[in-house]
Structure 1
Amino acid sequence: MKQHITQAFVKRIECDNQKSKQEYYDSEITGFILEVRSSGAKTYYLRTKGADGKRVAKKVGDAKVMDIKSARVKAIKLKRAIEESTDTMVILDGKNKKNTTLNNADDSCITLGAFYEDCYLPHVKKHIKSYETNISIFKNHLLPVYKNTPMDEISKASIMKLHSDMVVKKKLAPATANKVLIFLSSAFNIAIDLEIDGISENPAKSIKEYKLNNAKERYITKAEASRLLEAINDTEQNIHLKYIVPMLILTGARRGEVLKAKHEDFNLNQLTWTIPTTKNGKKRILPITPQLLELYKSIPKENTPYLFASPKTSKPYVTIYTSWNSARTKAGLQDVRMHDLRHSFASALVNSGRSLYEVQTLLGHSTSTMTQRYAHLSNESLMSAASCAGSLVG
Structure 2
Amino acid sequence: MKTNLTQPFVKRIECEAGKSKQEFYDKEIQGFILEVRATGAKSFFIRTTVNGKRTSKKIGDAKVMDIEAARVKAIKVKRALEEQKDIILGKSTKENKKPSVITLGAFYDTYYLPHIKKHIKSYETNISVFKNHILTPFKNIPMDKISKASIMKLHSDMVVKKKLAKATANKVLIFLSSAYNIAIELELEGITENPASKIKEFTLNNAKERYLTKEETKRLLEAINTTEQNIHLKYIVPMLLLTGARRGEVLKAKHEDFNLNQMTWTIPTTKNGKKRILPITPQLLELYNKIPKDDTPYLFTSPVTGKPYVSIYNSWNSARTKAGLKDVRIHDLRHSFASALVNNGVSLYQVQSLLGHSTSTMTQRYAHLSNESLMSAASCAGSLM
Report the TM-score, using the length of structure 2 for normalisation. Answer: 0.75
Give the aligned residue type for 1:75. V
Mean Cα deviation higher: 356-365 or 56-65: 56-65
Pick one of 160, 163, 170 that aligns with 1:168: 160
Taking the aligned partners of 2:295 and 2:37, their CA distance within structure 1 comes to: 48
- Check conservation: 2:4, 2:28, Cα contact below 8 A: no
Aligned to 1:197: 189
Give the aligned residue type for 1:134. N
1:127 matches 2:125: no
Aligned to 1:220: 212
**Paired positions, count:** 371
Aligned to 2:280: 288
Query: What is the CA deviation profile of residues 3-55 of structure 1, one whole-angstrom value per residue up to 9, with x for unaligned ones?
Result: 468xxx99x9998596645556567754344656678988764323458xx56
Deviation at 1:217, TM superposition (A): 1.4
Matches within 5 A, 1:219-258: 219-232=211-224, 241-258=233-250
- Check conservation: 2:45, 2:60, Cα contact below 8 A: no
Taking the aligned partners of 2:34 and 2:81, their CA distance within structure 1 comes to: 15
- Check conservation: 1:257, 1:275, Cα contact below 8 A: yes
Give the aligned CA root-mean-square deviation in angstroms.
4.3
Aligned to 2:31: 31
Taking the aligned partners of 2:292 and 2:21, their CA distance within structure 1 comes to: 52
1:336 matches 2:336: no
**Structure 1 residues not aligned, in runs of 5+:** 88-102
Deviation at 1:361, TM superposition (A): 2.6
1:208 matches 2:206: no
- Check conservation: 2:242, 2:284, Cα contact below 8 A: yes
1:355 matches 2:347: yes
Q: Secondary structure at the match of 2:133?
A: helix
1:48 matches 2:48: yes
- Check conservation: 2:48, 2:82, Cα contact below 8 A: no
- Check conservation: 2:48, 2:78, Cα contact below 8 A: no
Give aligned-pair identity as a percent: 71
Deviation at 1:143, TM superposition (A): 2.7
Query: CA 1:69–1:152 in 2, change beyond 3 Å: closer, same or farther?
Result: farther
Q: Secondary structure at the match of 2:193?
A: coil
Pick one of 171, 177, 196 that aligns with 2:169: 177
- Check conservation: 2:257, 2:266, Cα contact below 8 A: yes
- Check conservation: 1:232, 1:242, Cα contact below 8 A: yes
Aligned to 2:57: 59
Deviation at 1:249, TM superposition (A): 1.7
Q: Secondary structure at the match of 2:169?
A: helix
Q: Secondary structure at the match of 1:196?
A: coil
- Check conservation: 1:30, 1:119, Cα contact below 8 A: no
Taking the aligned partners of 2:71 and 2:322, their CA distance within structure 1 comes to: 61
Pick one of 360, 363, 374 that aligns with 1:371: 363
Q: Secondary structure at the match of 1:292?
A: helix
- Check conservation: 1:81, 1:105, Cα contact below 8 A: no
Taking the aligned partners of 2:110 and 2:302, their CA distance within structure 1 comes to: 39
- Check conservation: 1:167, 1:174, Cα contact below 8 A: yes
Deviation at 1:247, TM superposition (A): 2.5
Q: Secondary structure at the match of 1:354?
A: coil
Deviation at 1:144, TM superposition (A): 3.1
**Structure 2 residues not aligned, in runs of 5+:** 90-94
Deviation at 1:199, TM superposition (A): 3.1
Report the TM-score, using the length of structure 1 for normalisation. Answer: 0.73
Deviation at 1:58, TM superposition (A): 4.1
- Check conservation: 1:78, 1:105, Cα contact below 8 A: no
- Check conservation: 2:46, 2:59, Cα contact below 8 A: no
Taking the aligned partners of 1:313 and 1:160, their CA distance within structure 2 comes to: 39
Give the aligned residue type for 2:57. K
- Check conservation: 1:227, 1:331, Cα contact below 8 A: yes
Deviation at 1:262, TM superposition (A): 4.4
- Check conservation: 2:236, 2:250, Cα contact below 8 A: yes
Deviation at 1:259, TM superposition (A): 4.5
Aligned to 1:149: 141
Q: Secondary structure at the match of 2:47?
A: strand
Query: CA 1:367–1:30 in 2, change beyond 3 Å: closer, same or farther?
Result: farther
- Check conservation: 1:274, 1:284, Cα contact below 8 A: yes
Aligned to 2:80: 78
Aligned to 1:93: none
Query: CA 1:156–1:22 in 2, change beyond 3 Å: closer, same or farther?
Result: farther
Q: Secondary structure at the match of 1:149?
A: coil
